[in-house]
Amino acid sequence: MKITRVSAIVLRLPQVTAACDGTQDTCLIKIETDEGHTGWGEVDSCPTVVKAIVEAPLSHQICNGIANALAGADPLALDSCMHRMQSAANYYGRTAAGAHAMAGVNIALWDIAGKACGRPVYQLLGGPHKTRFRAYCSILFGDTPAETYERGRRFADLGFTAVKFGWGPMGQSEANDIALVREARRGVGDQVDVLIDAGQVWDWKTALKRAHQFTEFRPFWLEEPLHPEDVAGYARLCAASPLPIATGEAEARFPDFERLLVEGGLDWVQPDPGRCGISTMVEVARLAHRLHRKVVNHSFKSGITIAASLHGLAAAPHGEVFEYCMADSPLRHDLTVEKFPVVDGYVHLPEGPGLGVTIREETIQKYRVA
Ligand SMILES: [Mg+2]
């Protein structure tokens, strides 16, 4: 089999705000082959930058676009394809958006591999260890503690057993930070777990103080309290925090996850397949298992990313909970025919070949801008 085309498709809602909500736009990766199999991936990054990286023309030997790097390659030689891209993007794309673009390609290549042999991706990865995961509802904080309370009530009523609140006004003041978590807990009630995603707002000493202040509201974890580069801060925080600490969504390369786990001492690591690819997600999950730490997906995109996350998590021996984005956007809910319903608080693995998703072309046509 040979790759005949790699496309990057940018989708965008008519109105995009400054809210920390990744469902307002997206970049899809579509890989076509000479045997009729088409693979789909999705990237959680800056969509137009990713498209430029995919489509970049040849500049010289180690500065080429990703589509050029994959022209004519065998998509089933998946690891070889990853190396071709890394060589082509050697000094402009090793990190950040370059790695994100390759992550989207990695998802699409796994989709092709599964379709070519008629099996779901999780089987090719050696799974499943589990066929369903406890879904936590992932939303943003309200603009105020009172709005956060209302959101908690609304989403706990949808049948989730855990609700995560993220970003928004966290970090503005000590009193407001505490009020946000108090109202989040009050909103979801005593029977539902509450998860707090701070959104990179503190230094480690402030984060440790907040962890103690939040303890009475019994958060399941405290997520991404520090800047992603502050591994030394994570090490000090994790060693002393009364709450489990989660982070990792900002990383794309295995060594960076490894550093966070080994040096940072994380309790939960959160790979996003739309930033690190399914292959690295599984590698990270298995490292976490070896280190007796926990793994959970990060996903704030469409059904493509949800499916990729489910397959990756099912290949980990200790997958347990699942980030289930409930942002109210058609780019979250209408891009795949499959809706991944949460039943009794659980989301189930897709069973079709490849990722097990069917793309809704009409949604692409409606929101495509590049
Ligand atoms: Mg987060």
Q: Ligand 1 centre from 197 Cα, in Å?
A: 5
Cα 1 to ligand 1 centroid, rounded to whole Å: 38
The CATH architecture to which 124-359 belongs is Alpha-Beta Barrel (3.20)
How remote is the CA of residue 223 from the centroid of ligand 1, in Å? 6
Residue 316 has a pLDDT of 97
Q: Is the pLDDT of residue 44 over 90?
A: yes
Residue 159 has pLDDT above 90, yes or no: no
Average pLDDT of the chain?
Answer: 97
CA distance 172 to 163: 22
CATH 3.20.20.120, the chain: domain bounds: 124-359
- What average pLDDT does the segment 317-334 reach? 96
- At 278-325, the pLDDT tens digits run 999 999 999 999 999 999 999 999 999 999 999 999 999 999 999 999
**Residue pLDDT, tens place only, 84-138:** 999 999 989 999 999 999 999 999 999 999 999 999 999 999 999 999 999 999 9
Distance 249 CA to ligand 1 centre (A): 6
Q: How far away, in angstroms, is 193 Cα from ligand 1 center?
A: 16
β-bridge pairing 219-223 and 245-247: parallel
Residue type for position 214: F
Distance CA 305, CA 319 (A): 16
Residue 355 CA to ligand 1 center (angstroms) comes to: 24
C-alpha of residue 354 to centroid of ligand 1, in Å: 27
- How high is the pLDDT of residue 157? 84
| CA–centroid distance, residue 212 to ligand 1 (Å) | 20
DSSP 10-46: EEE-S---SSS-TTSEEEEEEEEETTS-EEEEEE-S-
Numbered ranges of CATH 3.30.390.10 in the chain: 3-119
Q: How far is the CA of 126 from the centre of ligand 1 (A)?
A: 28
**Could you tell me the end-to-end alpha-carbon distance of the chain, in angstroms, rounded to an integer?**
28
- Tell me how far apart the alpha carbons of residues 66 and 56 are, in angstroms, rounded to a whole number: 7
pLDDT tens for 185-225 read 999 999 999 999 999 999 999 999 999 999 999 999 999 99
* Whole-number Å distance between alpha carbons of 346 and 324: 10
Ligand 1 being an ion, which residues bring their Cβ within 5 A of it?
Answer: 197, 224
Report whether 199 contacts 224 (CB < 8 A). Answer: yes
What does the alpha-carbon distance between residue 305 and residue 42 come to, in Å, rounded to a whole number? 6
Please give the C-alpha separations between residue 18 and each of 15, 168, 305, in angstroms, as whole numbers.
10, 10, 22
Distance 84 CA to ligand 1 centre (A): 31
Domain 3-119 class?
Answer: alpha beta
Q: How far is the CA of 74 from the centre of ligand 1 (A)?
A: 35
Q: Tell me, yes or no, if the pTM score tops 0.95.
A: yes
Query: What is the distance between the alpha carbons of residues 337 and 203, in angstroms, rounded to a whole number?
Result: 43
d(CA 224, ligand 1 centre) in Å:
6
* Ligand 1 midpoint to CA 225 (Å): 9
